[in-house]
A and B are shown apart, each in its own frame.
Chain A
């Protein structure tokens, strides 16, 4: 008997609450997002912008970068960034508008900040997250050096990396938003 009573009660409650239920879904959300402090966000934020926003403290030299490159990168990317198993990092300059474009970091990439951003996210392939910021600056410096983009004395840091102009940087247009 009590089962039927419950069913009937539930039915009337449902009728009464019907509008309220749909309104909650349409006009409100449950607001379950848990607020995070700036300190916590910092641990999740990998984003580096082309103007250098997001680059961390630290610095790296071409020489240090060569040693690190030979240990962590050469097996896949080849000696001095050419003829590796995966994608050349150096060379191809001036080929992009020619009959057979050869895309490398030096010949194609529009911004130098991409190097730091990508290495910190994904490299070395087998052990991502293992390099210090100084080491990432150093490897970035070495890859720019083997592309003749910086000289061997340059010490890269968050202040001067965004100013390193890539040879192909002027040759990109945006399809979105339209006509930009």
Chain B
């Protein structure tokens, strides 16, 4: 069969294909397969693992060849073990679901070992009936499930540094993950308790050693908050709040209190330590913004990215993730020439509200110095800003809610690095 010669049909400068020509490019780049460690009998060849029956059934982890894919950049505050974070290795993942074992972590006093039989969710404050629920009780309520991202508002904070930090995608942007979250809508439980007219906010507290607390407007709680008991089909893991956590679609991770223990309906915010002294956004005029809950529209190219270098010139798949706390991703644009020209990326089938969305594109790398950028636009028309626009008006050491365009430089040797453009 005669192989058609691929006819380049670039839609942006420096080799970037439009999403409509992506399929053609993929076909053209197909190559042969190598078989290693094989042994032959008669005229057929078998790899070594085909010469005997394999392992039995049971618990399974990743392939021994993929064990480098694990939570990255684990660090905690001095003098503590459990007060810190770990990150999702986004550069090694594809699709939109983050395996639960790789979901990022951010804890304020470690992971409690909670016996679900002794755990209760208590709803109190400005309610007609103060109520307590067991995990078993919650399982009898109608469950809902949504595929949605969770992002720490400190994600990408290293990008405020004056020099571009030479770190990989996980280290820079790995405080975001996406799961199928299942649980009970909180409005059902609050309706059961009966909210008094003065009730306008709630204060959620966790069952960790820090009794971690955040105030959340009642409007959000009644809109789409859930008490999540399930993550990707299994009970929520201890590092994500077992046996139950607050989940606020699209809002900053810190407000999604893990190991949820109490919900107090109040007339206003409690002004907890975290929502005032930590998760507030300081401007360069000395004014701080409190309660900046929604996570903004954002994207990052995960492949290629630092550590995933290009070996030789030719066609590569550019792949990455985009998300917005305001709804669905409408489109992702890519540039291979430092933002001078842009081409639209192809979005995978699952474009869900407040979820990670996978984008891809084909790119013909000609072996020259290049720079790759992605720019996400959501259904509300929000456009991911450039870094200089994001920094405008903020105090020099304010890093929460960083959502600027990420640029990766590709050297003529194929090495990928972080660069400010």
Contact = CB atoms under 8 A, between A and B. Distances in A.
A103 B209 CA distance: 24
Contacts of B137: 30, 32-34
A18 interface: no
B122 A36 contact: yes
A45 B210 contact: no
A99 B285 CA distance: 10
Interface in B113-145: 122-125, 129-133, 137, 140-142
Interface in A103-149: 103, 105, 108-111, 113-114, 117-118, 121-122, 125, 128
B280 interface: yes
Interface in B197-238: 203, 205, 209-213, 217, 219
Nearest to B219: A177
Nearest to B138: A32
Q: How large is the interface on B (under 10, 10 to 19, 20 to 34, 35 or more residues)?
A: 35 or more
B313 to A, nearest CB: 45
A173 B283 CA distance: 11
Interface stretch (B56-64, B73-81, B383-391): B73-81
B211 A96 contact: no
Contact of B203 (A47, A122, A174): A47
Contacts of A176: 217, 291-293
Contacts of B19: none
Contact of A36 (B108, B130, B141): B130
A47 B123 CA distance: 13
Contacts, number: 165
Contacts of B309: none
A125 B208 CA distance: 12
Q: How large is the interface on A (under 10, 10 to 19, 20 to 34, 35 or more residues)?
A: 35 or more
Given A47-B270, A175-B290, A125 B122 contact: no
A121 B210 contact: yes
A97 interface: yes
Nearest to B286: A97
A172 B276 CA distance: 9
Contacts of A30: 137, 140-141
Given A86-B77, A128-B210, A44 B122 contact: yes
A35 B193 CA distance: 9
A33 B210 contact: no
10 contacts: A29-B189, A29-B192, A30-B140, A33-B137, A34-B131, A49-B270, A98-B286, A99-B396, A117-B272, A175-B281
Interface of B: 77-80, 83, 108-109, 122-125, 129-133, 137, 140-142, 188-189, 191-193, 203, 205, 209-213, 217, 219, 261-262, 264, 266, 268, 270-273, 276-277, 280-282, 284-293, 395-397
Given A33-B193, A96-B395, 12 more contacts: A32-B133, A36-B131, A41-B130, A97-B286, A101-B282, A103-B277, A125-B109, A128-B109, A172-B288, A173-B290, A175-B292, A177-B217
